[in-house]
Structure 1
């Protein structure tokens, strides 16, 4: 099978696959021990309270995705994607090296900030180059993103396994150091692989390409509109702060306000690009589709990321985990997600190509609808499981296993397809910036997941069925709405499949 895949896809895809795998190794590995390190007061951790530690954790994950916006802009206008990836990887590695130094909280937060900046620079641009490998678009590009997505999940699995073990069992800072080594390996792969297999891709900023410069350079009036939108956002945040709606003087307040900030920035950016971006009528309709997909992916991740919150509590407290007298660690249930992705990503990649050859490949909005409906069905499974817990019994582990299976199939209908669709639908001169917006949608979903799960009172199990039922209904209904309107949404795509 591997020889067949290599014949269908350029070798540059595998350069990006392994570079992204090692970057995700460093990211997810460090993230796996970050909160534990912040809360630990025995083995040299920060000794924070749970409220403060989770707020900082949330701010970090949100900022990583939010920084993809300036990272995309730098690539589109100054660096080009290749340089953005290279410099981003170096910055990430330096950040992890700083984290590996046991030198107090100020140095630690410096390292954390540097990792976030580097990730914001690298993350949207490596996905953009995957899209550029397939200028013809179609099912081959969707299949390529599914393969690329396998690299993300393989890196996640290995990072949590190795960095998590070193951090928890040996030394926190050794774990952070292992993340730096992973990023170094990613840089080596990208440096030497791109020189041979990615020639001519991502070298020149899209805004500087022939015929694009005039459209990419907004007029003085458009610039003033952009500055005005930024000023309105600043005023809006000041009003929220002064009215007491948010309190950005504390970590908890910053985390609570992050959702408002992300929604404001995303709405302002979409408004700016539609009004002052110099887009044609077709491009404006395509950006309209990107807005719909942005809302869909934020909602999808809001449910999907319950894996680390409400579903983790359910695994810990309400799931039968004894096998022959040995208790399975509750966190191991989260490994079902990357494992299922690695198993089923090539299956769905082949399915899209097979359906395309018969002109039956589902359109992008249909795939998104399928993903949201599958996510909703998974939470109906959890409603049944939580009804067992309400009776005082432990639920079978197969409930969570089946839930994560449905999560994964839904994820494979949404996430790699969404990555691919953004590269196809985005106006070329705004490609990396809009890839950044895609990851901002993921950030918003993570924040919604945390806020929603914050209402999960683990001491009151009677509310669990209602909580899971809410997620199930909201995601299923949105998926059905997408399914009902897939034809007009598809017509807005201007012939792109």
Structure 2
């Protein structure tokens, strides 16, 4: 494979660092546990207590799902800070994996909702420590001049993510069919395997990478700035108090907390961008590029708000309104989510090859146009679900093909947005704000996941006639956003400068 090994005269010219495959293994098992558990999460929460579920309403379960998945991404910000200031990336990844495993073990214990929520909190905190920092370690395996080799390394790493999620979304729902808590327990076993692999091989193949907190080096040059961190924390606390006392939020309900968190994310993000633009000491071209990053932030938040319904509203539709029989065997509802990872594994190389071939013909598809395509594909996927919902509203069950086609369209959309947006953000960011801007990208994912949970909470199995309208609203928003990106593409491209 040319991405992995280049040769001259039949002899290797270079190979990827062996540490890449250590991190590949750790991330694969972490994603096995995360996506495997996510595939059964809302199903377990909305199953009656008599059937050993949690017995929550769909609205509450959707809000809890949104809070949990949003927290996973939001926690990457303090997770990165802890790694940079206290632990170093290596220890942060290991500690994060331990917290994730403990969380899944707690989820495997039958008990009260409080036990369940405690388990979710451990998983979210652990993922925040692990996810961003393990990606940082991958980047540090390569020298700055190894651009092509670095890109190939991240492609291999990305395949580990999807391989883990693909297998997890098959095995965990299968075991959960017999017992919910066995499914959660299998997720813990997956994380344990990743920890064992990481602990055994990391010292040998990662060397000293990520062992020393980065801020200890920066403190010697006086480049740290903790005042900004304190100001953000203080602002969040004040905002929470104001919202509570004005009655704008109701922190006694999961839905109210989720709505408050969404508002806080939006306000803080906008404040952050305004501060960077007006007080960040940027040149005019840099300000234009930061403005483009904000536009991409909005686009990715809209995309994830629809895409991440795979584990909320679409998962509930699979359970309650989809004919999942293959012969005499009924496929577990959560297993259908594995089609997304399967499609990514199959089509990622194909989509990548298309971009390369187009570029070879001097046809460079710019980032805003790719965003437009991804958002429109998201909308087309939900249009398929509108038709499937009409079938369910008529009293029949929809075929599995509707969900499979939806996941196919969403997967191709993901390939035109997620890696493209991440790459564009890294290129557009002013060098002194690169880490913060990459963190903002994860905040966009957090906001999208939160909205996805709130939308999923509106999915009422008792009100079948309303389902087509729920899905149709997502169609209008995503297709509308895609058309706006398409129309604004020439303007956005000018502000991007030479960044493609």
> What TM-score results when the alignment is normalised by the length of structure 1?
0.83
1:477/1:181 CA distance change after superposition, 3 Å? same
Partner of 1:148: 157
**Is residue 2:169 matched to residue 1:160?**
yes
Task: Output aligned runs, 1:444-483, within 5 Å.
Answer: 444-483=447-486
Task: Output aligned runs, 1:137-216, within 5 Å.
Answer: 144-170=153-179, 172=181, 174-191=182-199, 194-195=202-203, 198=206, 202=210, 213-214=221-222, 216=224
In structure 2, how many angstroms separate the alpha carbons of the residues matched to 1:61 and 1:474?
A: 21
Q: Deviations over 1:313-333 (max 9, x none)?
A: 444455454444555444443
Deviation at 1:407, TM superposition (A): 0.7
In structure 2, how many angstroms separate the alpha carbons of the residues matched to 1:455 and 1:88?
A: 33
Deviation at 1:429, TM superposition (A): 5.1
In structure 1, how many angstroms separate the alpha carbons of the residues matched to 2:54 and 2:134?
A: 33
In structure 2, how many angstroms separate the alpha carbons of the residues matched to 1:373 and 1:137?
A: 35
312-321 vs 237-246, which deviates more? 312-321
1:376/1:254 CA distance change after superposition, 3 Å? same
Match of 2:23 among 16, 19, 27: 16
Q: Does structure 1 conserve the Cα–Cα contact (< 8 Å) formed by 2:173 and 2:333?
A: no
**Is residue 2:365 matched to residue 1:362?**
yes
Partner of 2:304: 301
**What's the secondary structure of 2:49's corresponding residue?**
coil
Partner of 1:239: 242
Partner of 1:248: 251
In structure 2, how many angstroms separate the alpha carbons of the residues matched to 1:365 and 1:196?
A: 43
Partner of 1:86: 94
1:205/1:284 CA distance change after superposition, 3 Å? farther
In structure 2, how many angstroms separate the alpha carbons of the residues matched to 1:50 and 1:104?
A: 18
1:384/1:364 CA distance change after superposition, 3 Å? same
Q: Deviations over 1:140-186 (max 9, x none)?
A: 766654543332222122223333344442461x4444333322332
Q: Deviations over 1:290-341 (max 9, x none)?
A: 2222111110011112323333344445545444455544444322211211
In structure 1, how many angstroms separate the alpha carbons of the residues matched to 2:145 and 2:154?
A: 14
Q: Which runs of 5+ in 2 are unaligned?
A: 7-14
- Aligned pair count reads 489
Task: Output aligned runs, 1:339-418, within 5 Å.
Answer: 339-418=342-421
Deviation at 1:120, TM superposition (A): 0.8
1:466/1:95 CA distance change after superposition, 3 Å? closer
1:226/1:423 CA distance change after superposition, 3 Å? same
In structure 2, how many angstroms separate the alpha carbons of the residues matched to 1:101 and 1:456?
A: 28
Q: RMSD over aligned Cα, in angstroms?
A: 3.6
Deviation at 1:118, TM superposition (A): 1.6
In structure 2, how many angstroms separate the alpha carbons of the residues matched to 1:403 and 1:272?
A: 39
Partner of 2:76: 68
**Is residue 2:32 matched to residue 1:25?**
yes
Q: Which runs of 5+ in 1 are unaligned?
A: none
Q: Deviations over 1:256-302 (max 9, x none)?
A: 32212222333333344445555555544433232222111110011
Q: Does structure 2 conserve the Cα–Cα contact (< 8 Å) formed by 1:62 and 1:443?
A: yes
261-270 vs 319-328, which deviates more? 319-328
1:331/1:109 CA distance change after superposition, 3 Å? closer
In structure 2, how many angstroms separate the alpha carbons of the residues matched to 1:82 and 1:473?
A: 44
1:433/1:43 CA distance change after superposition, 3 Å? farther
1:34/1:472 CA distance change after superposition, 3 Å? closer
Task: Output aligned runs, 1:271-350, within 5 Å.
Answer: 271-277=274-280, 279=282, 282-324=285-327, 326-350=329-353
> What TM-score results when the alignment is normalised by the length of structure 2?
0.83
Q: Does structure 2 conserve the Cα–Cα contact (< 8 Å) formed by 1:146 and 1:417?
A: no
Deviation at 1:208, TM superposition (A): 5.9
**What's the secondary structure of 1:217's corresponding residue?**
coil
1:98/1:261 CA distance change after superposition, 3 Å? same
Match of 2:127 among 113, 119, 122: 119
Partner of 2:12: none
Deviation at 1:205, TM superposition (A): 5.0
Deviation at 1:98, TM superposition (A): 4.4
**What's the secondary structure of 2:252's corresponding residue?**
coil
257-266 vs 230-239, which deviates more? 230-239
Deviation at 1:457, TM superposition (A): 4.1
1:100/1:330 CA distance change after superposition, 3 Å? closer
